[in-house]
């Protein structure tokens, strides 16, 4: 499958759709997942047109990992989970639903009530509150 510019993350990158930003630089954009599996669920995407990890330009490897580590550390500080999951899906068969490469950062703790994948949309106002806490601890 070839990259489709009409996917929602492409629209976010070119300013045609809104998001709640957490971190941005020349290589990446990180923003709140609109249907979070847990509070603080953040996505990191490259500013590079690729559906998946397999076709990513290697110049983006380090910026993505740096941003992911920074955000995971912040999530640890904000929510004090026992674990933080970094998840990345390649292809519909793997569960991918948005076809612009993205890394999920999701806090995990025993007993935390997880939502199903892409199940409950949250308002931008609620997401902004979570983002503000994460940004303050980056």
Asked if residue 78 binds ligand AMP (CB under 6 A), the reply is no
Asked if residue 89 binds ligand AMP (CB under 6 A), the reply is yes
SS3 at position 86: strand
CB of 51 to ligand AMP, least distance (A): 10
Greatest Cα-to-Cα distance within the chain, rounded to the nearest angstrom = 40
Selection from 8, 3, 138 nearest residue 73 by Cα: 138
Where do we find the tokens 């992911």?
A: 68
List the interface residues with ligand AMP, window 50-69 (CB under 6 A).
none
Active site residue 41: no
- Which of these ranges, 49-57, 65-73, 74-82, 91-99, lies near ligand AMP under the rule CB under 6 A? 91-99
The residue within the footprint of ligand AMP, chosen from 62, 73, 82, 97 (CB under 6 A), is 97
Where do we find the tokens 């997942």?
A: 33
Rounded to 10 degrees, what is the CA torsion of 78, 80, 82, 87?
Answer: -10
Asked if residue 29 binds ligand AMP (CB under 6 A), the reply is no
Asked if residue 33 binds ligand AMP (CB under 6 A), the reply is yes
Asked if residue 118 binds ligand AMP (CB under 6 A), the reply is yes
Question: Rounded to whole angstroms, what are the CA distances from 78 to 40, 43, 44, 97?
Answer: 9, 17, 18, 28
By the criterion CB under 6 A, which residues form the site for ligand AMP? 8, 19, 33-35, 43, 89, 95-98, 118
Q: Which sequence positions are flagged as catalytic?
A: 102
């Amino acid at each position: 499958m070839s990259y489709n510019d009409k996917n929602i993350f492409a629209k976010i990158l070119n300013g045609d759709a809104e998001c709640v930003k957490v971190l941005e630089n020349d290589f990446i954009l990180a923003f709140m997942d609109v249907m979070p599996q847990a509070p603080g669920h953040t996505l990191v995407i490259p500013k590079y047109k690729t559906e998946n990890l397999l076709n990513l330009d290697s110049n983006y490897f380090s910026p993505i990992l740096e941003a992911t580590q920074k955000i995971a550390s912040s999530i640890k500080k904000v929510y004090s989970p026992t674990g933080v999951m970094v998840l990345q899906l390649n292809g519909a068969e793997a569960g991918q639903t948005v076809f612009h490469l993205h890394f999920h950062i999701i806090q995990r703790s025993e007993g935390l009530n997880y939502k199903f994948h892409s199940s409950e949309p949250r308002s931008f106002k609620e997401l902004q509150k979570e983002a503000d806490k994460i940004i303050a601890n980056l």
